[in-house]
Amino acid sequence: MSEKKAYEYDNAKNGDTKIVHSGDVEIQFQDKSKRTALEKILIAVVLMCVVVIIVLAIVAAIRKKDKESETIGVCTSTECTVTAARVTAALDETVDPCDNFYDFTCGTWIKKTIISEDRSSIDMFGVVRDEVEITIKYLLEEDSPDNEPEAVTKAKDLYKSCMNLELIEQHGAAVLKDLMAELGGWPMIGSFRGVEWNPQNFNLTNLLLGLLKYNNRILMDMYAYTDSKNSSTRILFIDQADFGMPGRKYYLKERNDTMIIAYETLGKSIAIQLGADPDVAALDMERVVDLEIDLAKITVPEEDRRDNEALYNKMPLHDLSKNFTTANLPFNWIDYVQGALGSEMVQIDIPIDEPIIVRAPLYFERLFSTLSKYDNRTIANFMIWRIMQNRANNLSQRFKDLIQNYNQILYGTSTPRARWKDCTSYVNTNFGLATGRLFVKESFDESAKNDTLQLIGNLLESFHELLEHADWMDDATRIVAREKADFIQKKIGYQDDIMDDEILNEIYQNITINADTYLANVLNVISSISADSFLFLREPVNKNVWSTAPATVNAYYNSVYNRIMFPAGILQPPFYSKDRPKSLNYGGIGVVIGHEITHGFDDRGRQYDKDGNLVQWWSDEVIARFDTQTQCLVNQYSNFTLPELVDEGLNVNGINTLGENIADNGGLKQSFRAYKRWVAENGEEKQLPGLKYNHDQLFFIGFAQVWCGSMRRESAINRILTGVHSPGRFRVIGTLQNSKDFSEAFSCKQGSYMNPYKKCYLW
């Protein structure tokens, strides 16, 4: 039989005879006009037999397919049905997956998911966080049992104080004005409680210390942390500080940029609400913004801060004044450091030869000469403004309205978040171990720990395989890289200590919380945070302790601890569910695990050895080849532009996002290998009901749908200017463009958008 047709007519003729081929049988017959009745009957019978044979063949093929389907089967459990519905609901099958896999996997989700007026963006992470916040909300609102730990009661009281809008309105700005008096007043307010601000009394050291007490790290950031070159001890660090706007690049625009003017207007308006003369406030705030723009210009860009060795500049305390002259400003390095560590809540003696790591020498070389261009009034106005900006959000509605006007311009949000969301988020951020205890008891499936440990083991095995195929590595480096991977600590779900009442209470013992005084509670919390940043300076490092809130929807890698962490909050759909197909778990939490493992070997993590020490454990030749490989990724991601910003000329920053892009690419490759190994050991999984995609394809669909999201133009600008992660669209597209496994799973032709000829790889 022909491979193309069941039968066909030959073009050749033999007199009046035509020839029909049917299988291996050749039948000759005369022209119809010359056939006998018997011949016609025989021909009809033969043709009927041919049709029967074809029908039987089709039936056999269908039965064979059904038998194969019965062998594989269809999963009809509730979890599989719900999962299939969730996957299908997001897909846009009008898009060819090889043309744009992000739009294919997320297109319908994007069309049907509206960004609420109180948000600048929405994505799957945000959806899961919303679900976690709802759980925490009703847990915090529950009545306290008699045996409730004090720490949990404090968390509930903090929530109550945040939700009590009537009392917040009654208190007004009284507590904030007390704070202002404690700091010496705000010059642009003028006479304050009968006292005029006097520039002759201005002392930069004392004001910095006063702000540091409330965790406002203005002009410089100082804290105690694990020594990068001796991860068993702690040391003091000093670094450049953050800004009032989201990042330095916001200040490097035209002076009349809409966002800069919105920031200036916010400062002026808050000052007026606190009693400033409008004209004075306008002039003073203009000078404040000018100062902050100049500070942004001398700040070291993040692109130049990826070499941790260059950030490690160790020197004794007494050398700070020699290396970073203060330009005759009223500031003393020794008084500042000793004053911070000798505060009432810390009480640590600091000798003048105390070692300190300076992470931004170039910034401090230019800081004081930049400040000297401005008078004391402007410097003081700037510093007090920064704490007023932070705390105005804790005041009455008139202040929150001013902040909302600012947020609408910077982030595109036209309404504030629901009050309960703000309060729940604040409590979970600052009493995360207490709220985590409630969340774990309510929502965490303990079996997720063992499942995640098994996944981690499988992912590490995949990483070992990738090490063997890294042709830019030499054998010596490959051996130590394998050792580092095997040495990674695994922290999953939550720290067991939070279930111990005594230990949990001790963590929050120094924080006083009153259900009736919200701003006072906030000041107590931030004072404790500031003290905690120094308290453990003299204590040995305990790498088994982790303080991440269990109800956190995220995952982490810590270089100096060589540790991966997966809090309880992320161990749920769409990342993980114990009853859904492994393909989706490996595409979800599996890729996240691989991502965090790979962070230990990205452009920054690879600078630390297995013990978390900053040391060159690779040869110069291997480092050079590593840099060559990573440049491919820098170039690839730097060419991506968000649809929301096609007219802005803003591309993804391939340098700032490099570490995350390395982790995304490595994590995907590791997890797919681990999944295929699981299939080889356990057999093919049952299909999801109603879906035509096999599980290799579902792996990549599950991975991509984790990153479904939408954002406003303002949010897109923020993501590009400040983000270390590529936008979700390009976490999918960029990673899959480099994946041969993906192109094979979806049969994407080489040269298509999702299967370009040039691919970047590292791990």
Following DSSP, what letter does each residue of 365-405 receive, concatenated?
Answer: HHHHHHHTTS-HHHHHHHHHHHHHHHHHTTS-HHHHHHHHH
DSSP SS3 for 480: helix
* Contact of 212 with 221, CB cutoff 8 Å: no
* Contact of 270 with 244, CB cutoff 8 Å: no
pLDDT at residue 57, as a whole number: 56
pLDDT at residue 724, as a whole number: 95
Please indicate whether residue 714 is annotated as part of the active site. Answer: no
Mean pLDDT, rounded, for 486-493: 96
Residues of each domain in the chain carrying CATH 3.40.390.10? 78-112+446-495+554-745
Q: Is the pLDDT of residue 740 over 60?
A: yes
Residue 89: exposed, middle, or buried by beta-carbon count in 10 A (0-12, 13-18, 19+)? exposed
* Contact of 618 with 750, CB cutoff 8 Å: no
Helix 278-298 vs helix 258-273: crossing angle, to nearest 10: 130
Q: Is the pLDDT of residue 296 over 90?
A: yes
Extract the tokens encoding 32. 């119809």
Extract the tokens encoding 330. 């009223």
Phi-psi region of 711 (alpha: psi -120 to 50; beta: other; left: phi over 0): beta
pLDDT tens, 112-148?
999 999 999 999 999 999 999 999 999 999 999 999 9
Q: Report residue 632 CA to chain centroid gap.
A: 23
CB atoms within 10 A of CB 642: 21
DSSP SS3 for 727: coil
pLDDT at residue 56, as a whole number: 54
Q: Report residue 354 CA to chain centroid gap.
A: 36
Q: Is the pLDDT of residue 423 over 70?
A: yes
pLDDT at residue 648, as a whole number: 85
* Contact of 354 with 236, CB cutoff 8 Å: yes
Q: Report residue 242 CA to chain centroid gap.
A: 19
* Contact of 452 with 652, CB cutoff 8 Å: no
* Contact of 562 with 484, CB cutoff 8 Å: yes
d(C-alpha 583, C-alpha 355), whole Å: 51
Q: Is the pLDDT of residue 25 over 70?
A: no
574 preceded by a cis bond (ω within 30 of 0) = yes
Q: What are phi and psi of 412, to 5 degrees?
A: 80, 10
d(C-alpha 220, C-alpha 363), whole Å: 10
Residues of each domain in the chain carrying CATH 1.10.1380.10? 200-376
Greater confidence, 51 or 316?
A: 316
| Residue of 521, 524, 591, 526 whose CA lies nearest to 732 | 591
| Residue of 163, 147, 164 whose CA lies nearest to 437 | 147
Please indicate whether residue 596 is annotated as part of the active site. Answer: yes
Q: Can you say whether the dihedral through the CA atoms of 8, 12, 14, 15 is positive or negative?
A: positive
d(C-alpha 604, C-alpha 658), whole Å: 9
d(C-alpha 577, C-alpha 582), whole Å: 9
pLDDT at residue 302, as a whole number: 95
Alpha-carbon distance values, 315 to 212, 228, 320, 323, 363 (Å): 22, 14, 7, 9, 16
**230-240 and 220-227: which strand pairing?**
antiparallel
pLDDT band at residue 199 using 50, 70 and 90 as cut-offs: confident
Mean pLDDT, rounded, for 8-25: 36
d(C-alpha 384, C-alpha 358), whole Å: 25
d(C-alpha 466, C-alpha 619), whole Å: 19
CB atoms within 10 A of CB 53: 14
d(C-alpha 651, C-alpha 717), whole Å: 10
Extract the tokens encoding 296. 């942004």
pLDDT at residue 54, as a whole number: 60
* Contact of 344 with 535, CB cutoff 8 Å: no
d(C-alpha 350, C-alpha 320), whole Å: 14
pLDDT at residue 36, as a whole number: 62
Q: Is the pLDDT of residue 21 over 60?
A: no
pLDDT at residue 485, as a whole number: 97
* Greatest pairwise CA separation for the chain in angstroms: 128
**pLDDT, mean over the chain:** 90
Q: 224-238, 406-420, 538-552: lowest mean pLDDT where?
A: 538-552
Bridge partners of residue 95, in order along the sequence: none
pLDDT tens, 334-373?
999 999 999 999 999 999 999 999 999 999 999 999 999 9
pLDDT at residue 42, as a whole number: 61
Residues near 691 by beta carbon (within 8 Å), at least 6 away in sequence: 84, 87, 88, 698
Residues near 552 by beta carbon (within 8 Å), at least 6 away in sequence: 432, 567, 569, 570
The DSSP output letter for 185 is -
**489-493 and 121-123: which strand pairing?**
unpaired
DSSP SS3 for 230: strand
d(C-alpha 302, C-alpha 299), whole Å: 9
pLDDT tens, 654-710?
999 999 999 999 999 999 999 999 999 999 999 999 999 999 999 999 999 999 999
pLDDT band at residue 189 using 50, 70 and 90 as cut-offs: very high
Q: Is the pLDDT of residue 653 over 90?
A: yes
Residues near 730 by beta carbon (within 8 Å), at least 6 away in sequence: 637, 640, 652
d(C-alpha 504, C-alpha 436), whole Å: 11
pLDDT tens, 1-16?
433 333 232 333 333 4
Alpha-carbon distance values, 652 to 44, 429, 726 (Å): 71, 29, 7
Domain 200-376: CATH superfamily is: Neutral endopeptidase , domain2 (1.10.1380.10)
Check 596, 602, 603, 660 and give the catalytic one: 596
Mean pLDDT, rounded, for 277-290: 97
One-letter amino acid of 561? Y
Percent of the chain residues past pLDDT 70, beyond the cut: 90
Q: Does domain 78-112+446-495+554-745 have CATH number 3.40.390.10?
A: yes
Q: What are phi and psi of 122, to 5 degrees?
A: -145, 135
Check 292, 354, 609, 664 and give the catalytic one: 664
d(C-alpha 535, C-alpha 532), whole Å: 5
Extract the tokens encoding 452. 């995640």
Q: Is the pLDDT of residue 528 over 70?
A: yes
pLDDT band at residue 197 using 50, 70 and 90 as cut-offs: confident
One-letter amino acid of 350? I
Question: Which value, in Å, is the radius of gyration of the alpha carbons in the chain?
Answer: 33
d(C-alpha 260, C-alpha 406), whole Å: 10
* Contact of 17 with 29, CB cutoff 8 Å: yes
Q: Is the pLDDT of residue 48 over 70?
A: no
Q: How far apart are the first and last CA of the chain?
A: 50
